[in-house]
Chains A and B, each alone.
Chain A
């Protein structure tokens, strides 16, 4: 078996001399205000620390996360895959196939017990004993549980692994289930989005490899650094929202002037993601900049909240499609009618009893 490459090996492989490497360590140690011993400690850490082994598995999914990942610009995905992590297994992009590939999976699991990162794209369907997703001759859910046993942590890539996404939308015939509902004894970091932003994905990987631990997570298990603000909070069209300037129709003056897409069903106000700051394709654009509202793809159950073009969410509980206002107004109308009827009966009753009394 080949020796695992350390960070120092990578640095040397990229043409940096040992002299420059030591200079870098002393300079960094001095600028951080550490003592004289720090440079040796740093150099030693970089020389001995192995790159983090990563196993990347694919469940019920569309590979859009991988597609997004390979388009990362900062850092470049080749630096991530070839220098920062040791991507030992990824059945979609690895050279090995079949039994060879499965052998690597087994080897990594044993050799780096409790040290590797398991990155999961997609989710396991649980219905029919998991038969809706077969990977390497067995249900994906079994493979997932097997590999997760010895993982240090799990990255749940995308809306599928984090929330369930389209395969878990009602009525969810395969019972597709997000990772955190299947694996409960490992730290799980959710990186939702359909797909997640490339730089967010590589950013999470960079953080884990640099600091050897998971970044700070929010209540839902998402990294705070990318998911603590809504699209709406940093949207460049926000001034139009505050001013009360909205696109009313797709081809109106407001649409041409770049007004807020709130009335067109934009999910920016309820979607936590970094699109409005990091943007897509190397910072070129993001949906709202292209004139279309956010569809809230990084949120739980975003397929089941009604049309992407309605402001108010659809409520489906009564067998009919309605929103909060329609239900509210209907109930208010019925109660209003009942009140009017009751008042009328009261009045009639009062008049008749009065008459009876005067008749007597």
Chain B
């Protein structure tokens, strides 16, 4: 934790200068994971959508084209990267700091958590004018990330590899590890459909995630966007 000295001057609006605190929250692997996810999910959603609804037909001979092949290759490559990043990230849950653990559970057993959830809902409903300060994720963010990102991401990786095993065959490690999914849904068309719905869950999450990150960066008492680049959480109690 580092302390900035209060500047002993007034700003343009004549307000008192502020004391700013910053805390190191997001360690490098966490930040790296965030941006690997951002780019691979972008690639996966785009190529995945095109696999479900392909582009217009390519002219010429089949031997001269490989468009669907490239689209699928990019989908699979991005999926593999996402999966490996997820495995490393889960490792980091155990060795990283306390904030690295946050989006892998929801403390439903904690009364304080629920109280703070209510407080935050009131903040988003414009009922209170000042949000609470948090070093890590806010309680609503934690729940949303766990339910609408971490779990769907796991689901997408599992269904993704199960579907990939359809191509690599019954003797592949993908099928031995993830083939059990087809015991639950014997018709893989269902798995395709759920995989497709999973994409929309993650996309909807992303929309809310980006909106709230930008909004909180402006409105709340702490930095959000720059924190995922520098790892530092800056507290800006301008109006204290």
Contacts and interface: CB of A to CB of B under 8 A. Distances in A.
Chains A and B are bound partners: yes
A9 B54 CA distance: 60
B35 to A, nearest CB: 22
Contacts of B54: 244, 246, 262-263
B49 to A, nearest CB: 8
B190 interface: yes
Contacts, number: 132
Nearest to B210: A339
Given A240-B62, A242-B68, A246-B57, A331 B200 contact: yes
B170 A224 contact: yes
Interface in B170-198: 170, 179-180, 182-183, 186-190, 192-193, 196-197
B53 A299 contact: no
A324 B193 contact: yes
Contacts of A242: 62, 66, 68-69
Main secondary structure of the interface of A (DSSP, over half): helix
Nearest to B183: A219
B65 interface: yes
Interface in A311-351: 311-313, 315, 323-325, 327-329, 331-332, 335-336, 339, 342-343, 345-346, 349-350
Contacts of A244: 54-55, 57-58, 65-69, 71
Interface string A260-303: 00110001011000000000000000000000000010011110
Contacts of B199: 324, 328
Interface string A198-232: 00000000000000000000111000100011100
Given A233-B167, A299-B187, A339-B208, A312 B66 contact: no
B154 to A, nearest CB: 19
Contacts of A343: 211, 215
Question: Does more than half of chain B's interface fall in helix, strand or loop, or is it mixed?
Answer: helix
A177 to B, nearest CB: 15
Contact of B182 (A220, A325, A331, A353): A220
A339 B211 contact: yes
Contacts of A324: 52, 193, 196-197, 199-200
Given A218-B170, A242-B68, A324-B200, A312 B52 contact: yes
Across chains A and B, which 10 residue pairs bring their CB atoms closest together, nearest first? A328-B200, A244-B67, A243-B65, A324-B196, A300-B186, A270-B189, A300-B187, A244-B68, A243-B62, A242-B69
